[in-house]
Amino acid sequence: MPCFSACAERAQSHIQEQEPIDRAKTAARNGSDVNLLKFVCKKPNQHVKCRNVFYTPPIPPREARASVSRKVQLPHKELERLKAASKVVTLEDRLDDLMKKETELRRLEEEAERTRERFKKIDDARKKKAEEIALVQKGEEVQDKLQVLEKAFLAKHEQEEEVKEVNRIILNAKCHAVRDAQIQERSKLFKELRKEEIRLEQQVIERAMKSLNEEDEQFDKKQEAKQKYAEEIKKQLLERENQRFLEAERTEKEAKMLRDINEAFKRDEERQHQLSKERRSKFRDELAQVVEMSNVFKQRDRKRQRLFNLAQKALESRSQRDEITYLRQRENLEREYRQKEKQAALKKKQIEKELSDAREHQMQETKHRQALQVVRAEQDFNVLVERLKKEEEEDRKLNIERQRKRNCYRMDIIRQMGDKEMERRRLLDLERSEASDWRERERQRDANIKAVINAKLAAMRDACLPEKYIKDVEMQLQRITNNQRQKLAK
């Protein structure tokens, strides 16, 4: 358990131990001539006597007071310090701290050494640069002195007539050379400018042709697309026509089938009618036979009545019953026959009604389907016609706009070419006028120079100078004069 009774003494010893390290760090940062120790460590811990914290002396009892709740609040720094002091520092931790401090010291020493080397290099470079600057300044001073002497020598001999004449000839030759160079440079620049203008005009024309070709290609592509679209529309129309033809064939087949069914129904009705007619004729024959038999029986009865008058009364009641039974049977037969005929007629009417209703419904559906197909075909055709009209109108507008842009672009190119041609002519006229003015000035200047040269030659002959120099000067002057004449002749 750590001892907290000697915190002040331990803090003081810690500060004393940190002082050499801080001084070493400060010396490493502030100066490069300080010799740091190779190994620095803190002093061993100074054990301070303290009381035994495990033994607590008895506290005398105090008087009972009113219980007052007190809250103890430590500052944050004090709390952190107590936490740090409560940690047990082992030997490994101390060795780690020593190794870290040694590493830090080595790093600081290396950094100080690098700083010393860097400042030393800076000082050497500064000294070397100062020496070079001094040498350059000395060389410049010597050069300035030589230039001053040369200028003084030239100024001294510049007053002599020969030097002036030589200088004038040299200057004249230089002037001619410069003038020729300027003329050549001007002509060269004019040619290059003309070439550049031609190249730019060619580029503009090529760009315009390229844009026109691209527009033509786009127009051809659109025409091909329209052709393909028209072919596709034609193909669709043919397919729809084939479908309508197939639908008509199917409708015709259905109508034929309905006609066959109607004919079968008619044949069945005729057969039924024939059967019913045969039944009616058979029933009439049977009824006639019954009536005939009844007549025969009546005749026999009349005969018997005459023969058996006496037995008639006895058998009267029996005869009446037989007659009633016969009549009832005949009525039943007639009723059954009428009921059968009525049912057959009702059935026939119902079948005819159903057939007529089915035929009417089928005809209505066929007409409705055909009307829908016609309306749909008309709508598709109208939509197609409207679309084609819109596309033709858009194409016409695009062609008009393209033609307008092409004309505007062509007019702009023509206008630019005309402006450039006018500018070129203006520059050419300006150059010609400047050249004529320049030639006139040069002619006047040559006349003045010739007068001065004649005066100088007369002065040279009066001074009795060697003839060869005079001849040489005259030859040079004559050559210059001939060149000037040739230039003026040109």
Tokens standing for residue 343:
């049912």
Q: What pLDDT is attached to residue 187? A: 83
Q: What is the pLDDT of residue 23?
A: 47
Structure tokens at 281: 């004729």
Q: Are 303 and 368 in contact (CB under 8 A)?
A: no
Q: Which amino acid is at 452?
A: V
Q: CA angle 257-259-260, nearest 5°?
A: 65
Q: How much is the pLDDT for 399?
A: 85
Write out the two tokens for 286.
């049977």
CA 323 to chain centre: 114
Q: 334, 346, 348: which is closest to 284 by C-alpha? A: 334
User: Phi and psi dihedrals of 215, rounded to 5?
Assistant: -65, -40
Which pLDDT does position 28 carry in this prediction?
Answer: 42
The secondary structure of 249-291, three-state, reads HHHHHHHHHHHHHHHHHHHHHHHHHHHHHHHHHHHHHHHHHHH
> Is residue 202 within 8 Å of 375, Cβ to Cβ?
no
CA distance linking residue 41 with residue 51, whole number of Å: 29
Q: With left for phi above 0 and alpha for psi between -120 and 50, is residue 464 left, alpha or beta?
A: left
Strands (E), 100-173: none
Is the Cβ–Cβ distance between 215 and 406 less than 8 Å? yes
| Distance separating alpha carbons of residues 363 and 355, to the nearest angstrom | 12
- pTM score, two decimals? 0.21
Two structure tokens written together for 312: 């008639």
**Residue 488: HSE in the Cβ half-sphere, 13 Å Cα cutoff:** 14
List, for residues 377-425, the tens digit of each pLDDT value.
Answer: 788 888 888 888 888 888 888 888 888 888 888 888 888 888 888 888 8
pLDDT tens digits, residue range 145-189? 877 775 665 555 555 555 466 556 655 544 654 566 678 788 888
Task: Count CA atoms within 13 Å of residue 333 on its CB side.
Answer: 12
- Which tokens belong to 142? 């010597």
Q: At what angle do helices 309-462 and 161-307 cross, to 10 degrees?
A: 180
What 3-state class would DSSP assign to 89?
A: coil
Q: Which residues of the chain carry a pLDDT beneath 50? A: 1-8, 11, 20-50, 52-55, 66, 68, 163, 173-174, 177
pLDDT of residue 3: 47
Q: Which two tokens stand for residue 340?
A: 């059968």
pLDDT digits (tens, 9 = 90+) for 37-88: 444 444 444 444 445 444 455 555 555 554 545 556 778 888 888 877 777 7
| pLDDT of res. 323 | 63
Give CA–CA dist 332/217, Å, rounded.
100
